[in-house]
Structure 1
Amino acid sequence: MKIKSNRLKRKTPHLTITCDLPIFKPFITVLANVIERHPKIFSITLNYSNADYTAETGGYRPVEIRLERKQDNRWHICYVTEFYLYTYTVWPRINVCH
């Protein structure tokens, strides 16, 4: 996915988005809105988590997405990571050692 910003050429913010992957269009709109709100940055890491997700009941798992602007001023998705806890048994409590 490449997202190109034409902010420097126009007074009104505008993004041209080209994508060869089947990505949900509202999601592309969310990415475009984040990029337009932060015109001077060169990388964005988006984190999504659903408070209702548990290993026991499932649901939407946490996701992290990293975007970076390259020298040609195009944004590229570096990675999409989906976090998932896979266990044979579910522990009601995990002890942390200090």
Structure 2
Amino acid sequence: MPNETQSQMIQFQPCCLPVSNRLCNAIDKHIQQAHPSPLSSNSLTINFRDSNYGAESGGYHPVEIRVQRDEAQQWHFCYITDFAYCGGPYPELEVEIDFNIEQNSFRQMFLAPSPLNKHEVTEFYKVWESNFLEYLSDGAFDQIEVSA
């Protein structure tokens, strides 16, 4: 998890998913860069968008990550959701992958929900997170917004 420095870095509580330090640091970085600072809020949503993503053109799926601070001032992940266009002839943006930490539930489009602690889910999460972080470091998301 991120270490404290002179700036107010967010400390994340461990959760049922193997969330890496790299993801925690990336989330913290985008929260720290947001203006005005959203840290006075107890819950934050970070949206990652590729403005070129479209139903026909493809691109990088939008991702939304929600974090929340509890009464003890500890931050934890609420959910990590990956969206994709689905359907035709008028495709709509829908939830494709959802890691709902608060409800201990994993959903993937067209599959039955599963608990997050299921081995297949944690292994899938590791691959998903690794890909997401590579896309992020490659600059695939040109619109990153932090909101309270």
Q: Is this a same-fold pair by TM over 0.5?
A: yes
Alignment match, 2:67 = 67
The Cα RMSD (Å) is: 3.3
Is residue 42–residue 68 contact of structure 1 (8 Å, CA) maintained in 2? yes
Amino acid at match of 2:86: Y
Gaps of 5+ in 2: 92-148
Is 1:29 matched with 2:41?
Answer: no
Report the counterpart of residue 43 of structure 2 in structure 1. 43
Contact 2:9 2:32 in 1 (8 A): no
Change (3 A) 1:44 1:71: same
Identify which range, 15-24 or 51-60, moves more after superposition.
15-24
2:25 is aligned with what amino acid?
A: T
Corresponding residue for 2:119? none
Greater percentage in helix: 2
For the residues of structure 1 that align with 2:14 and 2:73, how far apart are their CA atoms?
A: 16
Structure 1 runs not aligned, ≥5 long: 92-98
1:57 is paired with a residue whose SS is coil
Q: Count how many residue pairs are aligned between Structure 1 and Structure 2.
A: 85
TM-fit CA distance, 1:14: 4.6
Q: State the SS of the aligned residue for 1:65.
A: strand
TM-score, normalised to structure 1, is 0.61
Secondary structure in 1 matching 2:84: coil
**Aligned runs of 1:2-13 on 2, under 5 Å?**
12=6, 13=8
CA separation of 1:79 and 1:14: change in aligned 2, threshold 3 A: closer
Matched, 1:89 2:85: no
CA contact (8 A) 1:43 1:67 kept: yes
CA change 1:88–1:71 in 2 (3 A) is: same
Letter in 2 for 1:70: D
CA 87–74 in structure 1, closer or farther in 2 if over 3 Å, else same: same
